[in-house]
Each structure stands twice: as C-alpha cells, then as structure tokens.
Chains A and B, each alone.
Chain A
Amino acid sequence: MPAKLINLEIDGRIFQAEEGMTILEVARREGIHIPTLCHHDALEPVGSCRLCLVEITHRDWKGWRGLVTSCLYPVEEGLQVTTFNEDIRHARRTVLDLLLARCPNSTVIQKLAAEYGVLATSYAKNETDTNCILCGLCVRVCAVKGCNAISTAGRGVERVISIPFDEPPPDCIGCASCAHICPTGVIEFEDADGVRRIWGRSFPMVRCPSCGQPVMPEAQLEFEAAKSGLDPDYLRTCPACSQKKTVDTIRTTFELKAVEVAG
C-alpha cells in the first residue's frame, strides 16, 4: 500500500515526501547536506551523536521552535525545517569540541571539529586514550547480523563497548562487520596465515578447495550456512574460482552443443 504523500519545507524550499520518512532521508534525497556520525543506512537510527540536529517549527505550533535529530524525526504535513543556523552551528561545534576532549587523537574527529572551528578542545582532556566515540554502530551492526556478540556496558562516561565478562566473545563469528563500520577505526582485526584475529579470538579461515586462498572464517561460514539454509560446502569456494567453474561449465556446454550440431 503506497504511503501518504505530504509536503514539507526545508531551508525555504518545498518538497514532497512519504509519511514515515525521516527529515534526514528527505534531505539526502534532495542533496541537502546534514552531517552524521552515528547514522548508517543499514541500521535503525538512534540519535546518539546529535550532529544531525536541525531546527523545526510549524505554523500551527504558535511560534514554538526546537532542535531535533533529523535521523529520527518523522516528516509531517506543514513541517518547516532549517538545516543550519546559529543554534545548530553552536550545538554541532560543542558536540565536536566535547568529542575532541574525549578522543583527542582521532583524526576523524579532529577533521570534523576543524570544520566547525575547533582546533583544540576547550574542555578537560580524557585521561584514557581512546578513539571510540560510542556511536554504537558496531553493536548495532552485530545485532543486525544476528550475532549480538558485543554490546555496550556501563553508564555515562564509564560506558564502553564491551565483550561479555571481558572475555573473547563466544558469539562472534569473525565477520569483522564491526571493524568495517567503525567510523574512527577503533576495532582492529588481522588476517594472517589463514587466521583472522579479532576481539581476542583466533578464527581459522576456510580455504577455497580450488585455489587454497582464505575465504572467510570457518565460524562465519557455519553461521551463514545455518542462517541462510545454504550448503556450507557450496559457500567454501572463493568468487574467483566460482567464476572459473562457471566459465568451464559454459565452455563445456558450448563444446558439447557444437559436437551435437556437427554430429
């Protein structure tokens, strides 16, 4: 069933959108830039970093205006959005200044902060050296993958991305989606000699039966096979060798066909 269409105003321009879309979705569709840190299209938004704040108002709201996170706010008929003004600039600048205090050595944060005029933090620097901005993307992607191997623990500034009991997580399948999604490169993994090391665990990689190259961690393969219902042996072959097999099949089929035609 098609969603209801509504009209909203962003920075003085009127756009049409489907009810249920967020302000950020509409802005991105129209090429209007709104910065984000904790947002990823594959994951449900959480409004954690607050960088995507925009100011909203409505003619029926008797002059009330306020800042909301565009990643979460659902569009509605008559909504009036401003994506950049002094309040927003000050809020984003402060958020980045605070993040720079927490992660002074993160090049990603340094670069973003510099865009808002913050070259050094105005606040007390974090004593612990970390580049983790607690965006939660790693935890959320692990949940979407279906593993829930890592999670947040603790509250406030004591909050950390954690593994159960601080021990190598038993539910991790070594897919490294967490490492790929981390915006500041905090999560490390190493592939060497056919073994992937991540979160303190060693994952022997499956080797392609044709060429012997490592394909993916055995644990991941088992997980994906179980989840998708596909035969694990079918998943073992690397794309290059799969392609070669495909080509061989086509070629032999053609040759057989040629013989048939000739004969």
Chain B
Amino acid sequence: MEKVLTITPSRCTACRTCELACSFKHSRNGTPGIARIRAFMFGEGRNQVVTCFQCDEAACVKVCPVSALSRNEQTGAIEVNELRCIGCGLCAVACPFGHMNQDRVNHLAIKCDLCGGEPACAAFCPTRALEFK
C-alpha cells in the first residue's frame, strides 16, 4: 500500500526541526530553500504542523494553464514540473489551504513533493508527530 505522510499534532512540540530539514533538503546552490512545511505553536498539546494534503482532486492541478502540476504515481505527491511552470502564481492563490508558494527570485511554484519518497521532515521529527508510513 502507498505510504502516506501522517501528522499527529498532539505529539508536535513546534520545535520546527521539520521546517529546517525541509529547507535544507530543498537548498539550491548553497541557498536554503523555502520550507514547504510549517509548524505553529499554540501551547502544549495544541500545536499544529501542516503541509500539502496532496489532494485527490487538487485545485492547483486543475487551474494550472500549462499542466505543470501532476501526481507522481510512486510517491503519491503532486509535483511541480519546473521546466513547465511559467510562474504566473495562480496555483498559489487557488490552493484553499495556502500550501502553495512562489519562489521569490524565479517565481516558480513551490510545494511539498514528499522529497521524492523519503520526506526529510518525517525523518528528522524527534517526536514522531510526522511519520511516513
């Protein structure tokens, strides 16, 4: 069965190690990338961590004018084809959950791609709030 990134917010300490791992994993030319996962501190037992839900019927896929977003059948993640993306930013506002962003320099779409099947966030999460299983 396909693995899924499971989030158990009750275990989250909002340490933000996931954000760091994500940023590192997506660095380019030594510059850290924008993290595609975000942790929010509300207090013990009430912290939240969110990333792309890899929707079955994703709004981003539907609105992209050049079909630059598509699902990777192996990992289950919706990926950005950077060679196709024209940087128009429509997907970023179309995502109802705010999980799509744009690179500040080259304007290309940025989102969680499950790191190609070995999500760094889950690998580094110290409390198993994030698991890939």
Q: Quick one: which of B25-81 are within 8 Å of A by CB?
A: 38, 40, 42, 46, 48, 50, 59, 62-63, 65-68, 81
Q: Are B42 and A146 in contact (CB under 8 A)?
A: no
Task: With A144-B86, A237-B98, A244-B98 as known contacts, state yes or no: A254 contacts B92, CB within 8 Å.
Answer: no
Q: Are B95 and A242 in contact (CB under 8 A)?
A: yes
Q: Are A242 and B86 in contact (CB under 8 A)?
A: no
Task: With A144-B66, A180-B106 as known contacts, state yes or no: A255 contacts B46, CB within 8 Å.
Answer: yes
The dominant DSSP class at the B interface is loop
Chain B residues whose CB sits within 8 angstroms of the CB of A250 once the complex forms:
9, 48, 50
Whether B117 sits at the interface, judged by CB under 8 Å, is no
Q: Are A234 and B81 in contact (CB under 8 A)?
A: no
Contact among B42, B87, B98 with A245 in the assembled complex (CB-CB below 8 Å):
B98
Q: Are B48 and A247 in contact (CB under 8 A)?
A: yes
Considering the complex, give the chain B residue whose CB is closest to the CB of A251. B48
Q: Quick one: which of B85-105 are within 8 Å of A by CB?
A: 85-90, 92-101
Chain A contact patch, size range: 35 or more
Contact among B40, B46, B67, B89 with A175 in the assembled complex (CB-CB below 8 Å):
B89
Q: How far is the CB of B71 from chain A (nearest CB, A)?
A: 18
Contact with B along A133-163 (1 / 0, CB 8 A): 0000000010011100000000000000000
Considering the complex, give the chain A residue whose CB is closest to the CB of B90. A224
Q: How far is the CB of B33 from chain A (nearest CB, A)?
A: 16
Contact among A215, A228, A246 with B97 in the assembled complex (CB-CB below 8 Å):
A246
Q: How far is the CB of B61 from chain A (nearest CB, A)?
A: 12
Chain A residues whose CB sits within 8 angstroms of the CB of B86 once the complex forms:
40, 42, 141, 144-145, 177, 180-181
Q: How far is the CB of B47 from chain A (nearest CB, A)?
A: 9
Q: Are B98 and A243 in contact (CB under 8 A)?
A: yes
Whether B107 sits at the interface, judged by CB under 8 Å, is yes
Q: Are A180 and B100 in contact (CB under 8 A)?
A: no
Q: How far is the CB of B74 from chain A (nearest CB, A)?
A: 17
Whether A235 sits at the interface, judged by CB under 8 Å, is yes
Chain A residues whose CB sits within 8 angstroms of the CB of B81 once the complex forms:
41
Q: Which residues of B contact A (CB under 8 A)?
A: 9, 38, 40, 42, 46, 48, 50, 59, 62-63, 65-68, 81, 83-90, 92-101, 106-107
9 contacts between A and B (CB under 8 A): A41-B81, A42-B67, A42-B68, A42-B84, A224-B94, A239-B95, A239-B99, A243-B97, A247-B48
Leading 5 A-B pairs by shortest Cβ distance: A242-B98, A243-B98, A42-B66, A180-B87, A41-B83
Q: Which residues of A contact B (CB under 8 A)?
A: 40-43, 141, 144-146, 175-177, 180-181, 215-216, 221, 224, 228, 230, 234-247, 250-251, 254-255
